[in-house]
Amino acid sequence: MGRRTIATLSAALLLAACSGDDGGEGPAGGSTVSPEPAVEEEGSPTDDGAEETSSADEVEGSEGGAAPEDGADDADGVGDSEAQDPVQAFTITEHGSFDEGWAMDFLPGTDHLLIAERVGALQLRDQDSGEVTEVTGTPEVHHAGQAGLHDVIAGPTFEDDGTIYLSWVRSTDQGVQGVVGRGTLDVDDASLSDIEVLWEQTPQSGNGHFSLRMLVHDDHLFVTSGDRQELDPAQGLDTNLGKVVRLTLDGEPAPDNPWADEGGVAEEFWTLGHRNPLGIAEDSTGQLWVSEMGPQGGDELNLLEPGENYGWPEASMGVHYGGGDIPGHQEGDGYRAPAAYWVPAISPGNLLIYSGDLFTGWQDSALLGGLSGQTLVRVDLDGQDAEVADQWDMGSRIRAVDEAPDGSIWILEDGAGGRLLELRPDN
């Protein structure tokens, strides 16, 4: 079967996107990958909060595509510029490996890639020489289950003062807690200093569903906060679990947030009803999107709208582990339905919205790395609509996806010894 035929079959199988929780070695360096029919595995549920490890047999042909109608009108702008056929195949080059790599960011104004390892280390990679140096001065982290050092992003003033934001998990007398901090990174010395904690997640027992992905948008800091596997807090106004919060760059609640009049921790909330949102990104029109792990099936790609309730745990396109029913999203139920969802699970580890020119036809596509699915998924965004376009079997659990300044795509595999991979179109 030729590449075009396979791509057509993949798009047909994934016509509506539908997923679950959080698996292996991938393609060798220099190999070429073309789209294949959907291959997805569901993560195995765990009671102690450890990342689910894929164990089910591979299943061909996921359901996917448009989610239930929620009455929202389409916005103009996204997707209108795609005039060329999208890239269908790419080459992969391996650039070493890392210990539980969780996040990465290309540092503006430098030739360096900053990589966060969940074990608690920050690694600085010189993109010219390939040399990797461990950063000194990182905070002490609680490393267990899904806990550890999580996200890292350059601040908007990084080129002037070296400011970065990072998120991690720590132990407190009240329980385990995710936090967001700010510090100063000296690239030449590979050192981090002046770390201050700006935001604290409500403490809770257990070591799962922290989320803690970050995005700076319109001079505000957005942070995803998981439900910590406690379900009900996602609907509560007395805890910041199961929310996306919107803060000033100094970590204070933004003054015009939707629940500002409620006072207390609710002043932080931008949206609520989330389970484990492990990706957040901005499209070319300024819309914000979040990728979210569902329960058993029901992974989601959500368009973020201020004040919206995304339903968890009252509504989901998946079911509880063990088979317990959850009402599906229905028009008029009061909850915002996902723009796309996955059944069976792909377990999206994070989210990138592509803005470069190197991969033609991918502009404003959402790229999700699958953990249990061991896939790279491309989703076409068109206003408020999302449709799965392509999916590639990567042969390993994908934890993070990022875009380099030249438009190439870089991937971090999950787990100890997970590889750093560079993707370029196969010309």
| DSSP assignment letter at 12 | H
Which whole-number Å values give the CA distances from 19 to 225, 232, 241, in the listed order? 19, 21, 21
**143 classed as catalytic:** no
Laid out side by side, the sheet with 276-282 consists of: 276-282, 288-293, 299-304, 340-342
Residue with tokens 């650039």: 95
CA torsion, ordered 87, 105, 307, 344, to nearest 10 deg = 50
How far apart are alpha carbons 157 and 241 in whole angstroms? 29
Q: What angle do CA 249, 123, 398 make, to 5 degrees?
A: 85
Choosing from 112, 142, 209, 329, the catalytic residue is: 209
Which whole-number Å values give the CA distances from 364 to 80, 106, 130, 230, in the listed order? 9, 19, 29, 34
DSSP letters, 143-177, are -STT-SEEEEEE-TTHHHH-EEEEEEEEEETTEEE
Closest CA to 340 of 326, 356, 329: 329
Which run of H or of E encompasses 132? strand 132-134
Closest CA to 59 of 18, 108, 1, 30: 18
Distance of CA 208 to the CA centre of its chain: 15
**Residues identified as active-site:** 209
